[in-house]
Chains A and B, each alone.
Chain A
């Protein structure tokens, strides 16, 4: 309950309120304008939100996979290992062939081959 002084002031204000003044005050209130295309934008956003998500292509899926640090590290390790294994195997074949040639050169004259 407000103090008696305030109750008195409120009564005075209500009684002295000028209907014309109130009307003018009501008319003078400025309503903020909407930006251009506001309604269209709202509808567009609503439609976009309601539309089902576009399925990602296999290219995008792969690209996303490649960008994952753990996958990238594992793939790099596998490729590195494959390169080392293939190189070692090939190197051994070359070395073996060279050794065979050297042996043959030591026992079979080139003029006979």
Chain B
């Protein structure tokens, strides 16, 4: 067998293997996402992720159901306050005293909402096994509150972030 022919055979085998791998990978990935990404509700993920027993999960569900209306009410208040801020700002090029007051009210509402949310996370974490509860709390705090950190760091002149003015 010549070197050229050997090379062609090997390249063909590698291409065939790559195609086989890619095909099976994409198919399996799609099937898994389709199968697992549609749980019965938003909470069923919690039970598998944090290894909750049925009793613990029932307690978490109860806390969630109790929290949802409060959260919705707070969201409605924030949305209304935002409308008022928009109206106060209007088309002016400077921030008036009234607009500043509305901004403060909006910030206070957001802080209240955030505190309520963190209280809920703490309550849920206490309904979980200690280690899982701790993990849940750390992850939720990071996901729910940590989102603003990037923006704050970039604004505070952190050398790790480039500032754009």
Binding site for B on A (CB under 8 A): 56-57, 59-60, 62-64, 66-67, 72, 75-76, 79-88, 90-92, 94-96, 98-100, 102-109, 111-113
Given A103-B43, A107-B71, 20 more contacts at CB 8 Å?
Answer: A63-B5, A63-B6, A66-B13, A76-B16, A79-B21, A81-B24, A87-B27, A90-B25, A90-B32, A91-B29, A91-B31, A94-B33, A95-B32, A95-B33, A95-B36, A100-B143, A106-B42, A109-B75, A111-B75, A113-B147
Residue of B nearest to A61 (CB): B6
| Complex Cα–Cα for A93 and B46 (A) | 15
Residue of B nearest to A82 (CB): B21
Q: Does B137 contact A (CB under 8 A)?
A: no
The 6 closest A-B pairs by CB, nearest first: A91-B32, A87-B28, A83-B24, A99-B45, A63-B6, A95-B36
Binding site for A on B (CB under 8 A): 1, 3, 5-7, 9-10, 13, 16-17, 20-33, 35-37, 39, 42-46, 49, 64, 67-68, 71, 74-75, 78, 82, 110, 113-114, 117, 120-121, 140, 143-145, 147-148
Instruction: Tell whether, in the assembled complex, residue A87 and residue B45 are in contact, meaning their CB atoms are under 8 Å apart.
Output: no
A interface: dominant SS? helix
Given known A-B contacts A63-B10, A108-B143, A112-B114, A57 and B32 have beta carbons under 8 A apart: no
Instruction: Tell whether, in the assembled complex, residue B32 and residue A88 are in contact, meaning their CB atoms are under 8 Å apart.
Output: yes
Instruction: Tell whether, in the assembled complex, residue A91 and residue B28 are in contact, meaning their CB atoms are under 8 Å apart.
Output: yes
Which one of A59, A88, A103, A105 lies within 8 Å of B28 (CB-CB)? A88
B interface: dominant SS? helix
Instruction: Tell whether, in the assembled complex, residue A76 and residue B10 are in contact, meaning their CB atoms are under 8 Å apart.
Output: no
Which one of A87, A92, A108 lies within 8 Å of B25 (CB-CB)? A87
Given known A-B contacts A91-B28, A108-B144, A109-B75, A80 and B20 have beta carbons under 8 A apart: yes
Which one of B3, B42, B147, B148 lies within 8 Å of A59 (CB-CB)? B3
| Complex Cα–Cα for A67 and B71 (A) | 65
Instruction: Tell whether, in the assembled complex, residue A92 and residue B32 are in contact, meaning their CB atoms are under 8 Å apart.
Output: yes
| Complex Cα–Cα for A112 and B109 (A) | 11
Residue of B nearest to A101 (CB): B143
| Complex Cα–Cα for A113 and B150 (A) | 11
| Complex Cα–Cα for A29 and B36 (A) | 95
Which one of B1, B29, B120 lies within 8 Å of A107 (CB-CB)? B120
| Complex Cα–Cα for A62 and B110 (A) | 66
| Complex Cα–Cα for A6 and B26 (A) | 96
